[in-house]
Amino acid sequence: MDLSEGMEQLAKNTQFCKDCHAIADAEQCSICADERRDQRSLCVVEDIRDVLALENTSTHKGRYHVLGGLISPMDGMGPSDLTVDELVERVESEGIEEVILALSATMEGDTTAFYIYRKLGDLPIRLTAIARGLPVGDALEYADEVTLSRSFQQRVPFETTLHR
């Protein structure tokens, strides 16, 4: 396949995965199509770049749900511009047991997480959010005060930090 052919394929085949709404080259993306992935666990992210970042870590064994943005009226983004309703539908119909919120640690990320929390509130699932704390390899004294105080408030039993 030469470059021009590749470009043509790209333009023709690029679409959003019908399940997770990530950019895909088929109706269903390769992650959603992979049956070895944990079908009970769903990780909620802002966009495809976050999927790639998390996939690089190989820590999440389940599937994803891509919101397509964060709630931000200033940027003209409301809940109806995101795939929140689709998320609720998936959780209700696909036998999801855990939803992991992996959103940016910004006001918009927090607002969106809170909105999802209220939408999913009554469903019998475990709703978790990724931890916020010191970057690995960083000295404590140089951490900014907000991160430091938050990681202090959300401290964890030491044993859970072992064998990782």
Residues 6+ apart with CB under 8 A from 141: none
Q: Which of 154, 62, 70 is nearest to 54 (CA)?
A: 62
> Which part of the chain contacts another protein (CB under 8 A), choosing from 4-12, 17-25, 49-57, 106-114?
106-114
The C-alpha atoms of residue 65 and residue 48 are separated, in whole angstroms, by 10
State yes or no: residue 115 binds another protein (CB under 8 A). yes
Provide the mask over 63-102, with x wherever binding to another protein is found by CB under 8 A and - wherever it is not.
--------xxxx-x-xx-----------------------
Size of the site for another protein (CB under 8 A): 17
Q: How far is the CB of 124 from another protein (least distance, A)?
A: 22
DSSP letter (8 states) at residue 158 = G
16 scored as a contact of another protein (CB under 8 A): no
**Contact flag: residue 114 with another protein (CB under 8 A):** yes
Pairing of strands 15-16, 23-24: antiparallel
CB crowding 65-88: b at 16 or more within 10 Å, else e? bbbbbbbbeeeebeeeebbbebbe
Q: Applying CB under 8 A, which of residues 54, 111, 125, 130 lies at the interface with another protein?
A: 111
Of 4, 38, 3, 45, residue with least CA distance to 22: 45
Under the binding rule (CB under 8 A), the answer on residue 107 touching another protein is yes
Q: Does 11 bind another protein (CB under 8 A)?
A: no
Considering beta carbons, is residue 122 or 145 the nearer one to another protein? 145
* Residue 137 touching another protein (CB under 8 A): no
* Number of other CB atoms surrounding residue 16 within 10 Å: 16
Chain residues that interact with another protein, rule: CB under 8 A: 71-74, 76, 78-79, 107-108, 110-111, 114-115, 118, 144-146
